[in-house]
Structure 1
Amino acid sequence: MTNPSRKHLVLLGAGRANLQVLRGLARQGRGDLGVTLVAPHPYYIERGMLPGYVAGDYALEDIRIPLDALVEASGAGFVPAHVHALDPGARRVQLSSGDAMPYDVLSIDVEPVVDRDQTEAEMPGARRNALFTWPLESFVQLWPQLQSLAAERALHVAVIGGGRAAVELALACAHALAHPHGTRVTLVSDENPLLASEPPGLQRRMVARLKQLGVTVLQDRCTGLDGRELQLASGARLVCDAPLLAAQPGPPAWLLQAGLPLGEDGLPLVNERLQVEEHRQVFIVPPRAPLELGPVLEANLRTALDGGSFKKVPVQASRLRVLSCGAGRAAAAWGPLTLEGREVWHWKDRRDRRQLASLFKI
């Protein structure tokens, strides 16, 4: 599989930072380094533009970009596979293809996942009846089927989840499915306050948008799904044709079971260079990493392979928060200042398109 005479860098996952590493290798060359990208699908999906895709503002090809040109330009190999297990002691990754891939240095930047077994235990019937928003590749392919059904008759759609992704999805659905038959959308947001981690001004703007688009908000918890309705913790039942599960995703099981030290948040611990202290040849990109993390990650990967000085990860200093509101609108907050409207959406659209294009610009 690999030439044992040269060092091997393995990139697990087609996340933004790993793709920025590939872009750097394409521009600066990889020398005698062997590089392999492992990902389930040969695409990158921009999750920040997903609500726009659901709302109809983007076509699928606007947010899902093939990886082949970037991989070829970087000189890397591509293995389409899922990861089954990681053995950091042996420096080996077990893949769904059956291969055990060795590495000298490993960079992990994978798509988060929803634990379907745990979800099924908490909401019996979810595995069979719900449309999961993760993994993104599956969701973007199934979403047009729901659109087609809503074009035939009025539906009652329930979005299950209380975070910003669930709110953005509910608004996008309400806009996209309202015509021609008046499909209704309900957001089942758990018992916690809606968007509790967002600035108060932004919370108010988003609640107002939910009301304007006719989204019903239930601060209740889904405890089961049977195909025609949801069972709620309060004892109530909600008639539902299409439940969309927008639960908060987390690290994949194989990463949590690799024997790496975990923090209080349940995530693998890394230092300021993104290294696992006990296994310094393993680098992990955190869930809410800075957008332009790639150049620092690339420099640190090269240092781990060839020696030199490591760089610290830049601090995420921006206080800007931007959420999609459906119907070609977005809301933004900067400190106490909040704005909402079409102008904010146009700004967000230009920013997102520019950042996505730059990711694949060689």
Structure 2
Amino acid sequence: MTVNSSRKHLVLVGAGRANLHVLKGLARQGSADMNVTLVAPQPYYIDPAMLPGYVAGDYALDEVRIALDPLVEASGVTYVAAHVHSLDATGRRIQLTSGDALPYDVLSVDAEPTLEREAVEHAMPGARRNALFVHPYEAFVQLWPQLQALAQERALQVAVIGGDLAAVELAMAVAQALNSPHGSRVSLISGDAPLLADQPAGLQRRVLSRLKAMHITVLQDRCVGLDGQAVELASGATLLCDAPLLALIAGTPAWLTQAGLQADEVGELVVNERLQSESHRQVFVVPPHAPPETGPVLEANLRTAMGGGNFKKAPVGPVRLRTVSCGDGHAIAAWGFLAIEGREVWNWKDRRDRRQLAALFTP
């Protein structure tokens, strides 16, 4: 793959929310004297906030999965459908699974978090063959209707494996979607720690109450194997299971962690307040679950990195407002120690999510 060497080259890896904001800015303001390439395996954006609603049946697939083509065309960037195989941060070059090598002057990484399947298989033998992985989203949304169809034929025993808020939302969405007509049952295998121990007490209490009301069994245990008929637990117990769903916390892609960028003592990339790698300032990395305000900061800082100017600081700290879809038109919202729930919370969340998604793709 070749690019015009007389112009600087900005490469965007991943169609995450912040990178999409950059595309929107390019559509609005133009790319001036630089080449821009978007690398993403699928020409779609799937909204994580609305994914549980799709599973629950509140949204059709085309409401949560938006084609990138119109935005790509409007922005004037080159789209490459590929995964990244490796990053040479010193040589400023990414190697693609297509076999192409793509040089860059500035790189922006805003890719969907990944689960390293070999590591998962090592921890849970049988997972690769028997489990439905939530990541990548595109594969999950294609396979989910098959599980729905099976639940129309008979009652299923479903196990959602994961212990964060996303896994809890998925468990409740699955319980809503598969309850009829045969009364499929859902268990949540949350791991060794108490469920949502890192969340505010009010939110934790309301979520646990909702799980109980929906007859979702919560097991504070760890999955150590899957054989296609049951889930083996660290405690020695066995849970009969027709369909295990892996909703583990996904992490930074291996190609990025293995690129020689500066990392902390636990292996997490060190990113400064400008979203730059601390060791390679030409590489910008958007943290997982970054707030919507990150997009405008990333766009401004990429333009600064390419053409000069002043950098902006990205928003830092945890997201203060947490919302949890609970199925059946019900949601919980928590702000610090305050938590409220009900249908009105769901209606507000629905309006907010639709508005934010539409804003990403409106020039």
Checking the alignment, whether the CA contact within 8 Å between 1:37 and 1:78 is kept in structure 2 is yes
> Secondary structure in 2 aligned to 1:296?
helix
Deviation per CA, 1:76-127: give whole Å up to 9, x if none: 0100000000001110000011000000111011110011111111110000
User: For residues 236 and 10 of structure 1, what CA distance do their matches in structure 2 show?
Assistant: 49
Partner of 2:26: 25
1:273 is the counterpart of 2:274 = yes
Partners of 2:291 and 2:319 within 8 A in 1: no
Give the 5 Å matches for 1:235-314.
235-314=236-315
Q: Quote the residue 2:332 is aligned against.
A: 331
Mean Cα deviation higher: 273-282 or 171-180: 273-282
Amino acid at match of 2:50: M
Residue 61 of structure 1 corresponds to which residue in structure 2?
A: 62
Q: Structure 1 stretches of 5 or more lacking a match?
A: none
What residue is the counterpart of 1:194 in the other structure?
A: 195
CA distance in 2, matches of 1:320, 1:98: 43
Distance 1:277 1:218, change over 3 A: closer
CA deviation map 1:18-58 (0-9, x unaligned): 00001011111111210000001000000011111110000
1:74 and 2:75 equivalent? yes
- The equivalent of 1:185 in structure 2 is 186
**1:153 match:** 154
- SS for the counterpart of 1:302 is helix
Partner residue, 1:173: 174
Secondary structure class of the residue paired with 1:107? strand
Task: Specify the code of the residue in structure 2 equivalent to 1:279.
Answer: H
SS of residue paired to 2:256: helix
* Structure 2 CA distance for aligned equivalents of residues 242 and 121 of structure 1: 20
Q: CA deviation at 1:334?
A: 1.4
Q: Kindly state the Cα deviation for residue 75 of structure 1 after the two structures are TM-superposed.
A: 0.6
Give, in angstroms, the shift of residue 277 of structure 1: 2.8
Contact 1:289–1:316 (8 Å) recurs in 2 = no
Paired letter, 1:61: D
Question: What is the identity, as a one-letter code, of the residue corresponding to 1:119?
Answer: V
Q: Are residues 94 and 354 of structure 1, via their aligned partners in 2, closer, same or farther at CA, if it must alter by over 3 Å?
A: same
Question: Unmatched 5+ residue regions in structure 2?
Answer: none
Task: Tell me if the contact between 1:290 and 1:316 (Cα under 8 Å) persists in the aligned partners.
Answer: no
CA distance in structure 2 between the partners assigned to 1:188 and 1:316 by the alignment: 28
Tell me the distance in 1 between the aligned counterparts of 2:98 and 2:135.
22
RMSD over aligned CA atoms reads 1.0
Which stretch shifts more, 260-269 or 145-154? 260-269
Partner of 1:85: 86
Q: Is the 8 A contact 1:156 1:185 kept in 2?
A: yes
**Pairwise CA distance, 1:314:** 2.7
- Number of residue pairs matched? 362
**Seq. identity, %:** 69
| TM-score, with structure 1 as normaliser | 0.98
Query: For 2:148, what is the secondary structure of its paired residue?
Result: helix
Deviation of 1:265 after TM superposition, in Å, equals 4.4
Whole-Å separation in 2 of the counterparts to 1:181 and 1:131: 21
Structure 2-normalised TM-score? 0.98
The yes-or-no answer on 1:112 pairing with 2:113 is: yes
Measure how far apart 1:177 and its partner are. 0.2
Deviation at 1:305, TM superposition (A): 1.1
Equivalent residues of 1:133, 1:246 under 8 A apart: yes
Secondary structure of the equivalent of 1:275? Answer: coil
Structure 2 CA distance, aligned partners of 1:265 and 1:27?
40
Is 1:356 aligned to residue 339 of structure 2? no
Identify the residue that residue 225 of structure 2 maps to in structure 1. Answer: 224
Measure, in 1, the Cα distance between the counterparts of 2:316 and 2:245: 34
Contact 2:155-2:183 at 8 Å conserved across structures: yes
C-alpha separation between the residues in 1 aligned to 2:43 and 2:147? 24
How far apart, CA to CA, are the structure 1 residues paired with 2:348 and 2:24? 26
